[in-house]
Structure 1
Amino acid sequence: MTDISRTDQDRHITALGSSVASDLFQILRDGRPRTRTELSAMTGLARSTVALRIDALMKLGLVGPVGDAVSTGGRPSSQFAIAASGRVVLGVDVGASHVRIAVSDLTGRIQAETSERIRVAEGPEAVLTWVSGAAHDLLDQLGRAPADLLAIGIGLPGPVEHSSGRPINPPIMPGWDRFDVPGWFRGTFDAPVLVDNDVNIMALGERELSWPEVDHLIFVKVATGIGSGVISGGILQRGAQGTAGDIGHVHVARGADVPCQCGNRGCLEALASGPALGRELRDLAGATGMSGMAPESSQDVVELVKGGNITAIQAVRQAGRDIGEVLTTCVSLINPSVIVIGGSLAQAGEHLIAGVREIVYTRSMPLATEHLQITQSKAGADAAVLGACMLAIHHALSPSNIEEMVIGAPTAAKV
């Protein structure tokens, strides 16, 4: 294997796992056009074999010609690259009170999207029925057939058994426990359905949009609940039962007597989530007789902060310190390059992040924080739906799936 092919192999690592550089499509996924001769030299395959495989990938709509290479004498050689718009995927972001879906090309570029105010508590049939109808509408809008859909990625606001796509005891999702989400779509779309926790897909989306070269990243969502998505070594970490990154239920000494909805006391989520801060501010207003401060949601707390309410600012800053206390342990265990703070409470801006930085930079080992960036999400509200698209793309374009499509293509018997 030449040096250039080794470079490509190193480059082709996604947040869901590693791929194989000797597969032509995986090489072309970097978007750089190459000739058959270049691909032959990089893979060691005969030029005739490369030509057959390129033809099969073109028939699948995955690869296309992009012009001619510079000629060194004689007829210019044709170049080929991934056909980003040849096929599409669907990304679905299911929140506590909203659903947003998008159709993207194979690079993650959004082509069409729509959203609806639907409470996840209405149950899986109501939510997924809307998703199915809206997905068909988006495909029609783009002039696409359902057969053009390679995969569907879905993020849910609760624990998910990723291997089966079933939610497991989700606290704010009545009727969803162990519901077969992929099975529900089976009669509607002939495409694989990937389901994951919403924070995991937000980590994928944030990395794709803002930190594509970063292989060690923690995305922290601070909203109704608190959780994190962990990317280590370029790979999304789910853990044995899919609960990796569940920092919301790590004990914080300051809140030892504060009950949490999980049944324990002193959980980070019971101290620093949006509802927790809302309760704290309401109680404080009642005890001191302050008026005009009765926040119910994370957004209400953010509005108080943006309005310059000193009490709310101090509460958010302390929430940042509490989150920082838990993240200090994460820094020692995982040694990330970047910690991204997202979710609705992150809209409070630097007040929350300043509290996180204050603790993490003070208590972590200097070597671990020398180049550590702690920053607000750049993807913002787009992180989840973009991450859902990337979840689908990484699965659909994995080496094993591409090989299956090539082998299954009618004209690919000899490839």
Structure 2
Amino acid sequence: MKRRLVSTFAAVAAGTLLAGCGGGGPSSGGGKISDDKIVLGVLTDLSGVYADLAGANSVAAVEMAVADFRKKYGDKAVTDDIEVIKADHQNKPEIANTQAKEMYERRKADALFDVPTSSAALAVQTVAGQVKKLYFNTGAATTELAGKTCNPYTYAYAYDAYMLAQGTGAAVAKQGGKNWYTIYPDYAFGQDMQKKFSAAVTGAGGKIVAGDPTPFPADNYSTFLLKAKAMKPKPDILGALQAGGDLANVVKQYEQFKLKDAGIGLAIGLLFDSDIKAIGADKLAGTSFTTAWYWSLDDEAKAWADRFKDKTGVRPTFVQAADYSAATRYLEAVQQAGTDKAEDVSKKLDGAEFNDFFARNATIRAEDHRVVHDAYLVKVKDPAKATEAEDYTEPVKTIPAAEAFDAPSPDCSMS
């Protein structure tokens, strides 16, 4: 793709600003902004089972980040032309591949964000490496993004299967849920969740007595739930490793088939506020889960969530909060670098330590591009204790960043 120099005046202005705000002035990129503007692409699920936890409101979160960046820098910004574009990957890796190429190459996206569904995320990661453009994953949990498939252009930003398992799997096993029957969606996310939960449960003294893959997406889990009731000996825990609309179906059918009355508890691998809203807080009250963030964490988180609700009408999920955070980190790095050239922007990101309303005690690891930060073991609040609508989360403990995420994978090579 052809690149054009910004005007001499804009380059000098950007250099003056950057020197003044500690960015060290423009990098060797010389103040270059490709096509004279920055394009941020949100590749997400706009219509399927993950549309509520990501979807249109992930686009809104990135738009908020752009608006705040403009407000912060005004006419001193490295460019005042920033566009947000979107596309629907339909939770299919082949469509994600096509859409990513379209967004990077024809629509001139400088960075992509979001991408729920691990198989789709892995496809986007491949494209990002091919076209040498940045991709910030906030929606997919597979650890492979910062593991064996890692590349210099992908940042694993919000959470992963290891984080979820180390919180929920270990905690439930230590609380007496020793024997687990797990069901997991049969694609990259579910397969990784099964592997990580097995390790966490076993490490805490428990055992996975059986685990079955389930279709994705799916609306009928009766075969698996009836199998759980018929197992001898019965498992202590049904580990539901689905997410979004699929998880809502599992929980509703767990109640329908009365597994709790049969002495089989429920452990949920990944839970969002949008899921709690769909299922009902009364049905999930007391359920433990691990999260990267929740909107009532503290005053700073709540203040941002209030702004998000003013814009969208709902409280944000942690994926949507992470989209804002990641887009802000990217724009700040461009501002510091004086260019949107991916390699120069990465130099400003790699090794950075930061705190914002989403990520606490955060570090962007240079060796694998995993963003590590504090995580939280929480439980669904009894609706009687809620102080307002969508007040679903009760804290149990903070999991420090060093414990929440695994060490860098030896399988990751950034070369």
**TM class by smaller structure:** 0.3 to 0.5
TM-score, normalised via structure 1 length: 0.36
TM-score, normalised via structure 2 length: 0.36
